[in-house]
Amino acid sequence: MILARNILLVDDEAPWLRTLSVTLQRLVPEAIIDTCVDSRQVMNRLEATDYALVLLDLTMPYHSGEQLLESIRQAQPNTRVIIVTGVNEVETAVRCIKHGAYDYFIKTDDVADLGRSVRRALEVVGLERNYKRIKDSFLSKTLSRPDAFSHILTCEPAVLDQFRYLEAIAFSPEPILIEGESGSGKQAFAQSCHLLSAPDAPFITINLAGISARQFDKQLYGELSTEPGKSVAGAIHKAGSGIIYLKEIAELPRESQAKLVELLEQKVYFPLGSEQSYAVNCRFIASTQADLLALNKDGKLRSDLMYRLRGHKLSLPPLRERRLDISILLNHFVQQAANELELSPPPVPANLATQLQDYPFPGNINELKAMVLDAVSRSSSVTLNTAPFMQAVNDCKDVAAPVAKFSFGAELPTLAEISQALIDEAMSRSAQNQTAAAQMLGISQSALSRRLTKDK
């Protein structure tokens, strides 16, 4: 939940201001509350501090609440105003709402209702501010913090766009989802977000591949035990105001999904074995290789979790769609591998990147990195050993080549049955297009047509 915090309470009765301030602080503990007893100072106070919300009395000396409402809406249109007054008149209330008041309360109204309205107004202002920051940042063509991306090498426009988007949303309290094939750089982007938003706080990874609901709950929420030394601190506690990276979110057991949604919404959690709630201060980044929409359709992923996670979504293209990057990544990983192996970096053959242009890199950047490490470890200092690359390219060609093998059971089908099955398959694959089906079967369209008519 996004909450702007600063509230100004305006009323000429100092004791009432004190009471209201204490009550509101109890109802909305995150709020930062200031008070003002002199209506003449309100506009100056608003200029000096960025208030999200003003609670305004109507009957005051010097400037009436209605006059102030108009001035505030003109000068600070992003600040919301709630009227809290002793005047119980429907016409006044209607007039105030018409002139832009967010809500209207009588001092004798239930204070819990006022608390709820204040919270809603703060959320609205918070969402507006968040949206504006994201828009401004995304529209600007330059990065303000390029250093946060220095470990991600790329010259592909699609990836550079993701840098700007991540920079724009890095401070949003909503979770971030990073989609991409294995080894496409999801964790590297999560680390950039950490560098941008909370570099001094921890970054904790929880890998959800094959995890049970109980293991997940224990790792995330921790467990309180009455036995000494048996309590376990959870990742939320350890992360503080840092980041928790939920790797492979699609594998989260269904039993744990509803609880995670509640945590993301309420921003509180209960450690296992505890009735007491604790505040969540960290941010969540989730990654997935799987198609969440398809999992949702199959009933494996709750809709509320999916929509909650997809609020901010980055999609990383696979390496086969980032051909421009192959050459820089090759050189970078050669240098990195040589450092690791304490060798001097062997020169990369000029045509190697071109030879890899059609290779699909199913393991993406991880695969390229591993190939380079293998190649460097087999190289002399004169040139890079290209055998691991060529091996992968050739293996891929072998797999792609058609395999002309059929397997039959103990009893062979007749020639007529086989040819009928082939024709049916070709017609089905070509969506009943005779020309395309004939091409697949290696016969003329008229020959196919004759066979089809004969069958009727």
Q: Where do contacts with ligand ATP occur on this chain (CB under 6 A)?
A: 152-154, 180, 182-188, 289, 329, 332, 365-366, 369
Closer CB to ligand ATP, 65 or 388, in the complex = 388
Minimal distance in Å, beta carbon 29 to ligand ATP?
37
CB of 216 to ligand ATP, least distance (A): 17
Q: Which residues contact 223 (CB under 8 A, 6 or more apart)?
A: 230, 231, 232, 234, 271, 272, 273
Six-digit token pair at 159? 């990836």
Contact by Cβ (8 Å): 263, 280:
yes
Cα 421 from Cα 348, distance rounded (Å): 52
Whole-number Cα distances in Å, 289 to 177, 186, 187, 250, 317:
11, 9, 12, 8, 11
Q: How far is the CB of 358 from ligand ATP (least distance, A)?
A: 20
Min dist. Cβ of residue 355 to ligand ATP (A): 20
Token readout for 440 is 């697949």
- Give the shortest CB-319-to-ligand ATP separation in angstroms: 9
Pick 69 or 235: Cβ nearer ligand ATP: 235
User: Residue 215 or 289: which CB sits closer to ligand ATP?
Assistant: 289
Q: Which residue is nearest to ligand ATP (CB)?
A: 185
Task: Report the residue number, 92 or 182, with the smaller CB distance to ligand ATP.
Answer: 182
CB 204 within 8 A of CB 246: no
Shorter beta-carbon distance to ligand ATP: residue 137 or 154:
154
Residue 312: strand, helix, or coil: strand
Min. distance of Cβ 332 from ligand ATP in angstroms? 6
Nearer to ligand ATP, 286 or 448 (CB): 286
Closer by beta carbon to ligand ATP, 221 or else 333: 333
E strand or H helix at 125, and its extent? Answer: helix 111-139
Task: Give the containing element (helix H, strand E) for 214.
Answer: helix 213-221
Which of residues 184 and 256 has its CB atom nearest to ligand ATP in the complex? 184
Q: Supply the minimum distance, in Å, between the C-beta of residue 392 and ligand ATP.
A: 17
- Rank residues 366 and 385 by Cβ distance to ligand ATP and give the closer one: 366
Cβ count near 27 (within 10 Å)? 15
Q: Are 373 and 337 in contact (CB under 8 A)?
A: yes
Min dist CB 102 to ligand ATP, Å, is 43
Identify the burial level of 98 via C-beta atoms within 10 angstroms of its C-beta, where 0-12 means exposed, 13-18 middle and 19 or more buried: exposed
* Crossing angle (nearest 10°) for helices 111-139 and 14-27: 70
CB 200, min distance to ligand ATP, A: 21
CB of 20 or CB of 166, closer to ligand ATP: 166
Whole-angstrom Cα distance, residue 16 to residue 108?
Answer: 12
The C-alpha atoms of residue 150 and residue 148 are separated, in whole angstroms, by 6
Residue 228: partners with Cβ closer than 8 Å, 6 or more residues away: none
**For residues 154 and 219, which CB has a smaller minimum distance to ligand ATP in the complex?**
154
Provide, rounded to whole angstroms, the least separation between the CB of residue 373 and ligand ATP.
11
Q: Comparing C-alpha atoms, which of 292, 256, 257 is closest to residue 180?
A: 292
**Cβ–Cβ contacts within 10 Å for residue 39, how many?**
20
User: What residues contact residue 51 under an 8 Å CB cut-off, 6+ apart?
Assistant: 6, 7, 8, 34, 45, 76, 79
Query: How far from chain centre, in Å, is Cα 86?
Result: 46
Whose tokens are 């020639």? That residue is 415
Min dist. Cβ of residue 160 to ligand ATP (A): 11
